[in-house]
């Protein structure tokens, strides 16, 4: 976690810039609450919109199913040691996308996933993060031999762009985990 914390306060829906206010209101309607993360992001309406647009593009316009999407998000968040996103995506994995518990726990514990195809996805995602995109032929071959396509490598980068926004911003704000995600709290080793 970042040693420095920004002094900006969380932004309420009432005090938000018009663009951010619309996003916060829509989030409230959809989720029933505004995640703490969004309240901090609202300090920069461009940041909030960039995150929500990119997140939505990854969710709605890639060839990954919901389980695979969570594997990507959790793997990136683990590699970036984001306590907030690990808790939030573990909750989503358990309650919305129905990722098998043993898969979620393997990512949280940084151990091989029990499903070979999902493990290949997680390993490729990890390689992209750790190698800063400089993946090698073996990384690509292991991914494609598991049944994925080279185009899906680009889709992982879409997820990474959303997670860089959320992981890094959560680090510099020390975003408190929402009560709804608290049961899936995670600390980086």
pTM exceeds 0.85: yes
pLDDT of residue 2: 56
CB 69 within 8 A of CB 159: yes
Instruction: Spell out the domains of the chain, with CATH numbers in brackets.
Output: 64-184 (1.20.1290.10)
CB 5 within 8 A of CB 172: yes
Residue 3 has pLDDT above 80, yes or no: no
What band does 189 get if pLDDT is binned at 50, 70 and 90?
Answer: confident
What band does 7 get if pLDDT is binned at 50, 70 and 90?
Answer: confident
Q: Could you report the per-residue pLDDT of 14-70, keeping only the tens digit for each?
A: 999 999 999 999 999 999 999 999 999 999 999 999 999 999 999 999 999 999 999
Q: CA-CA distance, 67 to 26, in Å (whole number)? A: 24
């Amino acid at each position: 976690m970042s040693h420095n914390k920004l002094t900006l306060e969380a932004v309420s829906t009432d005090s938000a810039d018009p663009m951010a206010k619309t996003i916060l209101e829509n989030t409230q309607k959809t989720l029933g609450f505004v995640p703490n993360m969004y309240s901090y992001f609202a300090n920069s309406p461009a940041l909030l919109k960039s995150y929500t647009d990119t997140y939505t593009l990854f969710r709605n316009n890639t060839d990954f199913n919901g389980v695979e999407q969570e594997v990507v998000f959790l793997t990136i968040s683990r590699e970036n040691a984001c306590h907030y996103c690990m808790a939030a995506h573990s909750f989503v994995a358990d309650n919305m996308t129905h990722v098998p518990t043993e898969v979620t726990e393997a990512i949280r514990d940084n151990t091989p996933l029990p499903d070979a195809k999902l493990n290949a996805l997680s390993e490729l995602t990890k390689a992209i993060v750790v190698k800063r995109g400089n993946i090698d032929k073996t990384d690509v071959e292991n991914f494609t031999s598991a049944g994925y396509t080279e185009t899906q490598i680009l889709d992982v980068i879409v997820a990474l762009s959303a997670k860089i926004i959320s992981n890094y911003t959560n680090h510099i704000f020390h975003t408190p985990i929402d009560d709804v995600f608290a049961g899936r709290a995670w600390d980086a080793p």
